[in-house]
Amino acid sequence: MNIALWIIQVLLALLFLFAGGTKLVLPIETLTSMGSPNQIHLPGLFIRFIGICEVLGALGLILPGLLRIRPGLTPLAAAGLVIIMIGATVLTYAGDGFAMALPPLVVGLLAAFVAYGRWRLAPHRDRLSA
C-alpha cells in the first residue's frame, strides 16, 4: 500500500506543480482564453490563489514524507487538493457537462485516496518514531 500511495503522490504532485505553476506564470488573459467558450470565468486574483494552493499542495504531498518532518501534513495537503478539485469538478460540470468534468473528478478521487491512505492505511512516520 505504501508504494502505491507514493506513486500516486508523485504523479499528483507533478500534475499540481504543472497546473499551479502554469496559473502563476502565464498571463491571466492567456489562461482565460485557453478554456472552452462555455467555461465559467473566474477573477484573475482567484486563479492566482488557486495556483499558489496547488503548488503548496503538491509540495505538501511529497516533502513531509520524504523529509520525515511533520508527516501529518501530507493528508492535510491531499484534503486541500480534494477541495480544489471539488470546485474544479463543479465548475467544469456547470460549464461543459459531465464528460469534461470526469478528469477533475478522477484527480479529486485520487487525492482523496492519498488523504485517507496517509491518514489511516499507511501513515508516514516522523524521524522520532523511526
Q: What is the mean pLDDT of each run of 10 residues along the chain (130 residues)?
A: 96 98 94 77 92 98 95 97 98 92 98 97 73
Give the separation between CA 27 and CA 14, rounded to whole angstroms: 21
Q: Which three cell numbers stand for residue 108?
A: 479529486
What contacts 13, CB < 8 A, 6 or more positions away?
A: 58, 59, 61, 62
Grid cell 516522523 — which residue? 126
The domain locations on the chain are 2-124
Cell numbers for 64, please give them: 513531509
- Please report the pLDDT score of residue 37 as a whole number: 72
Stated pTM of the model: 0.92
> Whole-angstrom Cα distance, residue 102 to residue 117?
22
- Using CB atoms within 10 Å of the CB of residue 34, give its burial: 0 to 12 exposed, 13 to 18 middle, 19+ buried: exposed
Residue 130 pLDDT: 53
Contact predicate 51/21, CB 8 Å: yes
